[in-house]
Amino acid sequence: MTQRVLTGITTTGTPHLGNYVGAIRPAIAASREPGVESFFFLADYHALIKCDEPDRIERSRLEIAATWLAAGLDPERVTFYRQSDIPETPELTWLLTCVTAKGQMNRAHAYKAATDANEAQGKDADDGITMGLFSYPILMAADILLFNAHRVPVGRDQVQHIEMARDVAQRFNHLFGRQRELFVLPQAQVDEAVATLPGLDGRKMSKSYDNAIPLFEGGPKALKEAIALIVTDSKLPGEPKDPDTSHLVTIHDAFASPEQRATFRAELRDGLGWGDAKQRLFERIESHVGPMRANYADLMAHPERIEEALLVGARKARAVATPFLQELRGAVGLRSMKAVARTGAPTVAVEAPKLAVFKQYREADGLFYFKLTASDNLVLLQSRGFAEGREAGGWVKRLKTEGAAALADAPVELGTERQRVEQALAAIVAAQE
């Protein structure tokens, strides 16, 4: 069975070398494994919890998307999308919110840290705390459960959130999964083998420690300047150095082959000066990062290409999410009333909904029309009349392949709420893939 692997990247800030080595590179490598279906997304709704500067959000989404694409993420292979392009995510968030124990959210680390800090300062426990921060783990659970991910690669700090997602999935399955287990129980994957890269001062590389080395921003010059600031001991050129106590060597290792690592160590033991060692390190990193930086610059100069790639990703993601959410709505009781009337039984079984169908026909006025009809005969879309049958056929084809995205252009009227129409179209698109 294919394993679904899903992870989100909160879009605040600009990726640095530590993000690349610790998250981006291993995730892209894992996405190339056979039998793995990867979902990577920009967690931009999560970003809003931490950041109320619209320009920074915009900039960071762009930089992070460009970074992942430049680093070799293949959007054909991976479903790469923005959280905020998936309206099913906030919708599922609400369904999950209704079965999540408040007490459990009180114990979430991020919220707890914030209330503890307030209390330590003698303030009201909830001072300055938003419902966004409080409900953060539920939004994250929705991200994961909507796609029934098996594995979720995350840092240690996020493991509790995955456990909460499992819990809420279990509760939901228990309450509503009479027909079948609705949610897969996700597993956190914390990769101990992946190095956490040290920063300039030897502590974990992190923006909050101000010890980060930029990945692409600022070009080779910024990379060189940052490397010049790596803290070393004060041994002079010619004096033997101990490679095993130098975080400069650890950073070098992350970009070097086993032979290159051995050579670098031997040279340091033989007295290579730190200045020269930094030059070697710069060249080593630059040989990896330089070609990707060129891709990055190209993408940043053409944000419309990034937008296009993300919209394609959103379409792929929604082909999964829309029919699944429809099933979940049915499971909790948000069902079409026509379905109840037809069967006469309010305990109607939740079946996979039948696809809506397009019908093309000609009216007495001589014009060609089409309509989209749901399995309960509700007219979802009604076209205007066309002089040519081909024209009507062309629109049907576009709606079938592009789904709701084509609604903006198509000369049609909606017969019911937009959401129902979008879901029907998404199911049609999904059925063709």
Residues that bind ligand TRP (CB under 6 A): 6-8, 10, 43, 46, 140, 143-144, 152, 154, 158
Q: Which is nearer to ligand TRP, 140 or 320 (CB)?
A: 140
How many Å apart are CA 19 and CA 16, to the nearest integer?
A: 5
User: With respect to ligand TRP, which residue has the nearer C-beta, 71 or 427?
Assistant: 71
Q: In whole angstroms, how close is the CB of 255 to ligand TRP at the nearest point? A: 24
The encoded tokens of residue 381 equal 């879309």
CB nearer ligand TRP, residue 65 or residue 248: 65
Please, are residues 252 and 280 in contact by the beta-carbon 8 Å criterion? yes
Q: Looking at beta carbons only, is 134 or 368 nearer to ligand TRP? A: 134
Residue 255, φ and ψ in degrees, nearest 5: -120, 10
CB of 41 to ligand TRP, least distance (A): 8
Burial class of 165 by CB neighbour count within 10 A (0 to 12, 13 to 18, 19+) = buried
Distance of closest approach, residue 144 Cβ to ligand TRP, in angstroms = 5
Least distance (Å) from ligand TRP to the CB of residue 250?
23
Enter the tokens of residue 142: 């929705």
Closest residue to ligand TRP using C-beta atoms: 8
Is the CB of 285 or the CB of 314 nearer to ligand TRP? 314
For the CB of residue 8, give the shortest distance to ligand TRP in the complex, in Å. Answer: 3
Smallest gap from residue 45 Cβ to ligand TRP (A): 8
| Secondary structure of residue 5 in the 3-state scheme | strand
Nearer to ligand TRP, 140 or 268 (CB): 140
The CB-of-162 to ligand TRP minimum distance in angstroms stands at 7
**For residue 242, what are its two tokens?**
């101990």
Residue 184 to residue 414: CA distance in whole angstroms: 35
**In angstroms, what is the minimal distance from the CB of 422 to ligand TRP?**
23
The half-sphere exposure of 429 on its side-chain side, counting CA atoms within 13 A, is 25
Q: Which SS3 state, helix, strand or coil, does residue 381 take?
A: strand
**How many residues are present in the chain?**
433
Nearest partner of 162 among 324, 2, 8, judged by Cα: 8
**Which is nearer to ligand TRP, 28 or 43 (by Cβ)?**
43
Buried b (16+ CB within 10 A) or exposed e, 195-227: ebbbbbebeebeeeeebbbbbbeeeeeebbebb
> CB-wise, 170 or 260, nearer to ligand TRP?
170
Q: Which helix (H) or strand (E) holds 151?
A: strand 151-153
Nearest CA to 73 among 256, 306, 301, 252? 306
Q: Which is nearer to ligand TRP, 129 or 378 (CB)?
A: 129
* Min dist. Cβ of residue 84 to ligand TRP (A): 12
Closest by Cα among 146, 39, 38 to 89: 146
Residues with Cβ within 8 Å of 234's Cβ and at least 6 positions away in sequence, in order, are none
Which one, 84 or 158, has the nearer CB to ligand TRP?
Answer: 158
Nearest residue (CB) to ligand TRP, 227 versus 325: 325
Strand order from edge to edge, sheet including 36-43: 79-82, 36-43, 3-10, 151-153, 187-189
Whole-number minimum distance, CB 324 to ligand TRP, in Å?
Answer: 16
- Collapsing DSSP to helix, strand or coil, 9 comes out as strand
Residue 151 C-beta: closest distance to ligand TRP, Å:
10
Residue 266 corresponds to which tokens in the numbers above? 């031997």
Dihedrals φ, ψ of 42, to 5°? -85, 115
Chain centroid to Cα 425, Å, comes to: 23
